[in-house]
Amino acid sequence: MRGTPHAAQRCLAVPCTIGRGCGVHERSAAAAQEEAMPDTAARVNHRWLLTARPQGAARENDFTWEEVSVDDLADGQVLVRIVYLSLDPTNRVWMNEADSYLPAVPLGTVMRGTGLGVVEESRHPGFAAGDLVQGLLGWQRYHVSDGRGLTRITPLPVPLTAYLGLLGHIGLTAYFGLLDIGKPVAGETLVVSAAAGAVGSLVGQIGKLKGCRVIGVAGSEDKCRWMRDDLGFDSVINYRIENIPEALRRHCPEGIDIYFDNVGGKILEAALDHLALRARIVACGMISQYNGSEAPGGPANLTRLIVHRARMEGFLCYDYADRAMEAFTELAQWMLLGKLHYRVDVVEGLENAPKALNRLFEGTNTGKLLVRVSEEPNFPPQAEAYTSKYLN
Amino acid sequence: MRGTPHAAQRCLAVPCTIGRGCGVHERSAAAAQEEAMPDTAARVNHRWLLTARPQGAARENDFTWEEVSVDDLADGQVLVRIVYLSLDPTNRVWMNEADSYLPAVPLGTVMRGTGLGVVEESRHPGFAAGDLVQGLLGWQRYHVSDGRGLTRITPLPVPLTAYLGLLGHIGLTAYFGLLDIGKPVAGETLVVSAAAGAVGSLVGQIGKLKGCRVIGVAGSEDKCRWMRDDLGFDSVINYRIENIPEALRRHCPEGIDIYFDNVGGKILEAALDHLALRARIVACGMISQYNGSEAPGGPANLTRLIVHRARMEGFLCYDYADRAMEAFTELAQWMLLGKLHYRVDVVEGLENAPKALNRLFEGTNTGKLLVRVSEEPNFPPQAEAYTSKYLN
């Protein structure tokens, strides 16, 4: 790999506070030169095929590593070099035999994954070389497409990684999950599980911006410290060492108004037992159930929904695609004003994707988990325009 | 017991189609005379105290039968003779040690129960002898009250039992549960469990009136026949002999838009697996969970709420008290026009209440389960006024 490691969580300021070497606002001359001359010799695609249905945690030998050459483009096609691959709990769900909100990944095909890339070559009228694009690009280095499913990105003065986080599916999930499904009211008590994770950490901060008391549940002292000291959560619970029901009772003396659920299982059951009247449970994810890492079986106390006249509702960020700019505009403003913090955890090299995925289930990632597949392109040309449009 | 057994499900017509002997529209001279001269000698109250927390099904020896004399009324008090006692699944929940939406019934006190009665004596300015009242009157013959929690009933030309059914908590539950929580749209597929029960049979019929395809799930061929032939449900499933997931797939080829859940457990799990996009699960009751009659543990597939962007929401009819007339007006109209059918299953004698309750959990009741505690009073004086007001 080449280039400067990306200081995503450090350089959010306009103007740049890091200066030379900041991967966001400045590129080395060598990197710029390299990009101006893309390698047009025979390209080799590296890719991971899913070749077995994982039992429990996905293991590297559920996948097969393949090197194949990339064919010349046909008319109407576009070639994308993948820069970042997003690793999300939902990847594990897609590996199962059963369809979920998307069909199961067929065995023998490239593992599905959300990615961000740069167009290297285009014979499609809608895309030009140098365009930043996003979509289900797959666990591979190159993606050839007829353009369907590719979304062009308008660059903003934010780190590129933000498009797979705050200004991507993670931001949409946190924003609409909390605001549209959870419907927070100032003064209410919001409990978030996996609260140091990519979605959870945003949810808690948005909750604070909306005037909620926020209690974050996470699995390490480091994460708890981060939530309390940097994110401003009112209380934190380390589920690995604390008694969850007792801690919820202590931190939520008037019950839980909103439980933003990323994990399901035992924490969901404890939250159900401690709901306030007319509580909302935002069913965002149930990571404890995806991997067989917790005994199967749901909460035995769903009758609490009746007792507390509570609502539990599932959603997917994809349903909010047509309202994405509404979220991104507000999220980007908060971010540029320093009101939202986030961390990225970048794993170098596509070859490490299968192993890295399990960190989500072990809780050993520290921030939005990404794989850097190739070097970042030049970025971002339209920062000034955005800044003057949205921040005055 | 004295008086004519009440032909609740037969005489809904105005004018009366039964004639002499109809408990609704005509009283025998003897009964009328008896009522005009209430027995003012020392009254004996019979009552059931809850004296042990049931394990599993409630048994008669969890209760103690008591006979005590009724004291003279103090100023501000009212004496109610209970005519009908309603037996509902929620009675079993109230017997547990844990509080639910109401506190647990304390051991050694009269078992809590919804009842309908007639005021025999009043030293309260808000009530007069002969008034029909409703409330948590308890498993007893006489209820002495300071008036709080008593609701006076304006008699309509319907059977008295209707006030503990269609025009009482059952009607409110079915009406607002389906319309306010389920939000049916014509053409949608509605699945109802315990669909031959008091609430379920109304829900299915209201669903039909709103243009839904209705599938009823019940536990006997007799119940299934009634739902199909008399209530007009589109399909029925006998859960005791059919494979529920397979039957749901067959009867709901495009998935379930609304699942009105009265039972929880395995049927809830099967419904979750077969939801349509943006489905609503109305969490009305989970009778399979109240009694330990099914292994504990909730549905293992709550992630389906996410996959289908579905909502599961609990409610209680009590929350709709201020909108009750809205429901009763429409329900009474439908009833008087012959568009709603219901059955009552009247058990004679307070002494049989503990045993009778278990019929709800065994599914052996055929209609709204009531206990006749004492004879019906004269009834209903204001039928004509109601008819001219609402049915022209």
Report the gap between the CA of B181 and the closest CA in chain A (Å): 10
C-beta of residue B230 within 8 angstroms of C-beta of residue B223: no
- Average pLDDT of the segment spanning B267-292: 93
Helices (H) and strands (E) in chain B, counts: 12, 16
Residue A183 gets which letter from DSSP? -
Query: CB distance from A319 to chain B under 8 Å?
Result: yes
> Which pLDDT belongs to residue A5?
35
- Residue A309 at interface with chain B, using a CB cutoff of 8 Å: yes
How many other C-beta atoms can be found within 10 angstroms of the C-beta atom of residue A319?
15
DSSP code for B180: I
pLDDT of residue B156: 78
What are the beta bridge partners of residue B359?
none
Six token digits for residue B214: 């209705």
pLDDT of amino acid B293: 55
DSSP-derived secondary structure for A203-270: HHHHHHHTT-EEEEEESSHHHHHIIIIIS--SEEEETTTS-HHHHHHHH-TT-EEEEEESS-HHHHHH
What is the structure's pLDDT at A294? 58
8 A C-beta contact, residue A166 and residue A202: yes
User: Which chain B residues contact residue A311 at CB under 8 A?
Assistant: 311-314
Residue B286, chain A, CB below 8 Å: the answer is yes
pLDDT at A14: 33
Kindly identify which residue of chain A lies nearest to residue B287, measuring between CA atoms: A303
Q: Which residues of A touch B289 (CB under 8 A)?
A: 300, 302-303
Q: Answer whether B309 sits within 8 Å of A316, measured CB to CB.
A: yes
Q: Is residue B306 within 8 angstroms of chain A, CB to CB?
A: yes
Given a cut of 50, is residue B334 above it in pLDDT?
Answer: yes
Is A289's Cβ below 8 Å from some Cβ in B? yes
Q: In this predicted model, which residue has the larger pLDDT, A148 or A380?
A: A148
Count Cβ atoms within 10 A of the Cβ of residue B105 and give its class: 0-12 exposed, 13-18 middle, 19 or more buried. Answer: buried
A15 cis-preceded (ω within 30 degrees of 0): yes
Summarize pLDDT for A151-178 with one digit per residue, the tens. 998 877 788 999 999 999 999 999 999 9
Distance CA A109, CA A53 (A): 12
CB spacing of B314 vs A308 below 8 angstroms? yes
Reported as a single tens digit per residue, the pLDDT across B14-32 is 333 333 334 433 434 444 4
pTM, 2 dp: 0.84
How far, CA to CA in Å, does A126 sit from each of A117, A121, A156, B76?
15, 12, 20, 82
Cα–Cα dist B2/A131, whole Å: 88
Query: B106: which 2 tokens?
Result: 């304390």
Q: CA-based angle A372:A374:A375, to the nearest 5?
A: 100
Which of B183, B267, B281, B306 has the highest number of chain A CBs within 10 A, making it the mutation to test binding with A?
A: B306
Could you report the per-residue pLDDT of A228-276, keeping only the tens digit for each? Answer: 999 999 999 999 999 999 999 999 999 999 999 999 999 999 999 999 9
DSSP one-letter code for B102: S
3-class DSSP state of A49: strand
- B268/chain A closest Cα distance in angstroms: 11
Residue B383 has pLDDT above 80, yes or no: no
Among B residues 90-129, those touching chain A with beta carbons less than 8 Å apart: 93, 100-101
Is the N-terminal amide bond of B15 cis, ω within 30° of 0?
yes
pLDDT of residue A340: 92
- Which own/partner pairs from B8-17 qualify as long-range (CB within 8 Å, at least 24 positions apart)? B8/B159, B8/B161, B8/B162, B8/B342, B8/B343, B8/B344, B8/B346, B9/B341, B9/B342, B9/B343, B9/B344, B9/B367, B11/B159, B12/B158, B12/B159, B12/B335, B12/B336, B12/B338, B13/B338, B14/B157, B14/B336, B14/B383, B14/B387
Take residue A222 and report the two structure tokens written for it. 């480091």
Closest CA to B290 of A302, A273, A281: A302
Q: Phi then psi for A321, rounded to 5 degrees?
A: -55, -40
A84 membership: H or E segment, kind and range? strand A78-86
**B289, B297, B310: residue with CB nearest A297:** B297
Cβ atoms of A222 and A195 within 8 Å: the answer is: no
Whether B367 contacts B342, CB under 8 Å? yes
- Chain B CB contacts of A319 under 8 Å are 309
Give the gyration radius of chain A's Cα atoms: 21
Sign of the torsion formed by the C-alpha atoms of B93, B94, B100 and B106: negative
Three-state secondary structure call for residue A321: helix
- For B238-257, how does the pLDDT look when each residue is reduced to its tens digit (9 = 90+)? 999 999 999 999 999 999 99
Domains of chain A by start residue, with CATH: 29-165+343-379 (3.90.180.10), 169-319 (3.40.50.720)
Rounded distance between C-alpha atoms, residue B311 and residue B316, angstroms: 17
B307 neighbourhood in chain A, CB within 8 Å: 100-101, 314
CA distance between the termini of chain B: 39
Pairing of strands A256-261, B115-122: unpaired
Test A311 with B311 for CB contact under 8 angstroms: yes
Which residues, at least 6 apart from B376, have a Cβ–Cβ distance to it below 8 Å? B3, B6, B23, B83, B160
Contacts A93 to B, Cβ<8 Å:
303
- Whether the Cβ atoms of residue A194 and residue A368 lie closer than 8 Å to each other: no
| pLDDT at position A41 | 60
CA distance B209 to B204: 9
| Per-residue confidence (pLDDT) for residue A366, from 0 to 100 | 81
CB atoms inside a 10 Å sphere around CB A314: 28
What is the distance, to the nearest Å, from the Cα of residue A261 to the centroid of all Cα atoms in its chain? 15
Q: Does A24 have pLDDT greater than 70?
A: no
In whole angstroms, what is the distance from residue B238 CA to residue B244 CA?
A: 8
Mean pLDDT value across residues B342-354: 95
Q: What is the mean pLDDT of residues A277-292?
A: 90
Q: Beta strand pairing status for B78-86 and B311-314?
A: unpaired
Q: Hey, are the CB atoms on B307 and A314 less than 8 Å from each other?
A: yes
pLDDT at A234: 98
pLDDT in tens, A41-100: 679 999 999 999 999 999 999 999 999 999 999 999 999 999 999 999 999 999 999 888
Calculate how close chain B gets to A306, using CA atoms only, in Å. 4
pLDDT digits (tens, 9 = 90+) for A302-360: 999 999 999 999 999 989 989 999 999 999 999 889 899 989 999 999 999 999 999 99
Residue identified by tokens 């209903």 is B380
CA distance B253 to B235: 12
What is the amino acid identity at position A177?
Answer: G
Rg (CA), chain B: 21
What would the pLDDT profile of B165-203 be if each residue is shown by its tens digit?
999 999 999 999 999 999 999 999 999 999 999 999 999
Q: Report whether pLDDT(A7) > 60.
A: no
Contact B306, A312 (CB under 8 A): no
Note the pLDDT of residue B62. Answer: 97
Instruction: List own/partner pairs for B235-240 with CB under 8 A and 24 or more apart.
Output: B236/B195, B239/B193, B239/B267
Q: For residue B138, give both structure tokens.
A: 């308890």
Q: In chain A, pLDDT over 70 holds for what percent of residues? A: 85
Give the closest-approach CA distance of A387 to chain B in angstroms: 36
Judge whether residue B102 has pLDDT over 90. yes
Sign of CA dihedral B253, A302, A240, A237: positive
Question: Which residue matches tokens 């690793």?
Answer: A87
CA distance A268 to A262: 9
Mean pLDDT computed over every residue of chain A: 87
Q: What type of residue is A29?
A: A
For the four alpha carbons of A110, A116, A121 and A122, in that order, the dihedral sign comes to positive
Angle between helices A265-272 and A244-251 in degrees, nearest 10: 40
> What is the structure's pLDDT at B392?
32
Query: Measured between alpha carbons, how far is B11 from B5 in angstroms, rounded to an integer?
Result: 12
Percent of all residues in chain B with a pLDDT value above 70, rounded to a whole number: 85
What pLDDT is recorded for position B296? 66
Predicted local distance difference test score (pLDDT) of residue A296: 66
Q: CA A269, CA A263: separation in Å to the nearest integer? A: 11
- Which chain B residues are closer than 8 Å to A301 by Cβ? 298
- B81's enclosing H/E stretch is strand B78-86
- Residue B40 has what pLDDT? 52
More confident: A386 or B275: B275
Whether A174 has its CB under 8 Å from any CB of chain B: the answer is no
- With b for 16 or more beta-carbon neighbours within 10 A and e for fewer, the A224-262 pattern comes to bebbeeebebbbbbbbeeeebeebbeebbeebbbbbbbb
> What is the dihedral angle through the alpha carbons of B267, B271, B272, B274, rounded to the nearest 10 degrees?
150
* Comparison of pLDDT for B174 and B41, the residue scoring more: B174
pLDDT at B227 over 90: yes
Nearest by CB to residue B298, choosing from A286, A299, A310, is A299
Bridge partners of residue B48, in order along the sequence:
B65
CA dihedral sign of residues B280, B282, B283, B289? negative
Q: Other CB atoms closer than 10 Å to residue B61's CB: what's the count?
A: 10
